[in-house]
């Protein structure tokens, strides 16, 4: 990386990696932040085969074959980062740039446990909530000599927040329209939505929260029907040929969590295999695989539609990212349930599957330039917090990197993210 003066003129190049709760693969994006705009330089996806996904899924459920939980976590951290190493090289080749031109990397990792609410320990002692993401930033730093930001969620949970959603600050930067009220819907394993009031109506606050299941129940159904040979419903074809059991859809969508006011977040603990088995047990005695998939798809569509009740002003259009944007049946059911224009993010020039990895590249930049990465009104935290833990290469010091990056952020970050964190002093 060049000296700090380059940040003033050229802005920043950042990589981001994300593995969502669907566990279908790992996404990587390379972005440039310059002159108050964000552009995508390259995107790459590394798919996980079904056996690998099943191994990780079973391990996260406490059934790691032949390993202790801690041993499984250590192995998974390294596997994630080895995939990131390979993806990073592909991103560099695709963008025709060298690693020396990349300023930092953001690595989200695989969420192994997410319980943000305070509770009791096994011995009955009150303890705060927690969240754990598995990745090994040291492998990336050693390989490329680039600072890596990871462990994004714990800071917010420690301040009393949900640790999610984090991506809305990126959605605001790149997807807000001058005159149209939008919402961005991310259809990962868990679905989350961000309201994006138009700049004309900038007095309206952003609202963002998890809406419930995205692809998670649908993927569980596909695995059950195919006996593990298929991890999803391609294009929603099976669901499109089935008939949803409406009474069961309505029953599932009476879940108290779905009716809880935001801020809120959820995960595999609530919408994973156990919930799928519960729904499966309530299907009629004679049902077709297509009817099961239609029912699971409709649960996602209805839970998203119900979430719009919390959003003011009501969005005129919904932009969709994440793997679920490729599910044509789900997209159509969303249009019907929400009675809105529903479009994949490709219509805005951003690959649907790239949005989340782009977001963590952007969040890493906010952290390195000492800007808050949370909106406390969304996560429930006490205040905006600078997120994550930074792993520095041994060849570079904090003092040689941070001042120039902070000042560069003053110039290049989009409004209002140029504002520095109030609790931190600016560079001398």
SS3 category, 394? coil
Kind and range of the H or E run holding 131: strand 130-134
Kind and range of the H or E run holding 321: strand 317-321
96 is in an annotated binding site: no
384 is in an annotated binding site: no
Q: Which residue has the tokens 């953001």?
A: 106
217 is in an annotated binding site: no
Q: Are 266 and 190 in contact (CB under 8 A)?
A: yes
Q: Are 28 and 88 in contact (CB under 8 A)?
A: yes
As given in the structure block, the two tokens for residue 102 are 């990349």
DSSP character string of 262-303: SS----HHHHSHHHHHHHHTTS-SS--HHHHHHHHHHHHHHH
Question: Dihedral through CA 231, CA 60, CA 134, CA 373, nearest 10?
Answer: 80
20 is in an annotated binding site: yes
d(CA 403, CA 423): 16
Q: Nearest CA to 304 among 355, 245, 350, 253?
A: 253
121 is in an annotated binding site: no
Q: Are 156 and 381 in contact (CB under 8 A)?
A: yes
22 is in an annotated binding site: yes
d(CA 200, CA 181): 9
Binding residues: 20-27
Binding residues for ATP: 20-27
């Amino acid at each position: 990386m060049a000296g700090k003066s380059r940040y003033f003129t050229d802005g920043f190049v950042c990589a981001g990696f994300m593995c969502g709760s669907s566990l279908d693969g790992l996404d990587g994006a390379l972005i440039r932040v310059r002159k108050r705009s964000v552009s995508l330089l390259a995107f790459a996806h590394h798919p996980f085969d079904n056996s690998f996904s099943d191994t990780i899924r079973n391990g996260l459920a406490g059934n790691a074959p032949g390993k202790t939980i801690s041993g499984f976590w250590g192995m998974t951290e390294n596997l994630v980062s080895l995939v990131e190493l390979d993806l990073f090289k592909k991103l560099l080749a695709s963008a025709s740039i060298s690693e020396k031109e990349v300023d930092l990397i953001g690595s989200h990792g695989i969420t192994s446990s997410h319980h943000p609410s305070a509770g009791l320990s096994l011995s009955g002692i009150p303890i705060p909530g927690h969240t754990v993401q598995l990745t090994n930033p040291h492998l990336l730093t050693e390989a490329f000599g680039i600072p890596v930001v990871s462990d994004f969620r714990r800071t917010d949970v420690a301040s009393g927040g949900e640790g999610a959603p984090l991506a809305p600050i990126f959605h605001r930067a790149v997807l807000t329209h001058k005159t149209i009220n939008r919402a961005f819907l991310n259809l990962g394993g868990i679905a989350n939505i961000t309201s994006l009031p138009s700049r004309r109506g900038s007095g309206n606050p952003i609202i963002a929260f998890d809406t419930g299941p995205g692809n998670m129940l649908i993927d569980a159904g596909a695995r059950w029907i195919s006996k593990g040979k298929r991890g999803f419903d391609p294009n929603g074809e099976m669901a499109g040929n089935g008939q949803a059991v409406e009474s069961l859809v309505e029953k599932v969508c009476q879940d108290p969590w779905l009716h809880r006011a935001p801020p809120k977040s959820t995960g595999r603990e609530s919408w994973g295999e156990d919930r799928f088995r519960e729904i499966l047990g309530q299907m009629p005695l004679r049902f077709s695989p297509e009817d099961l998939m239609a029912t699971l798809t409709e649960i996602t569509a209805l839970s998203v539609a119900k979430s719009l009740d919390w959003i003011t002003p009501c969005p005129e259009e919904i932009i969709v990212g994440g793997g679920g944007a490729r599910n044509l049946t789900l997209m159509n059911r969303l249009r019907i349930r929400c009675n809105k224009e529903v479009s994949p993010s490709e219509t805005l020039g951003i690959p649907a599957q790239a949005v989340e990895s782009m977001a963590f590249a952007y969040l890493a930049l906010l952290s390195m330039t000492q800007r808050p990465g949370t909106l406390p009104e969304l996560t429930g935290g006490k205040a905006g917090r600078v997120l994550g833990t930074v792993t520095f290469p041994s060849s570079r010091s904090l003092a040689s990197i941070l001042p120039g990056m902070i000042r560069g952020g003053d110039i290049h970050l989009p409004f209002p993210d140029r504002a520095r964190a109030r609790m931190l002093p600016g560079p001398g």
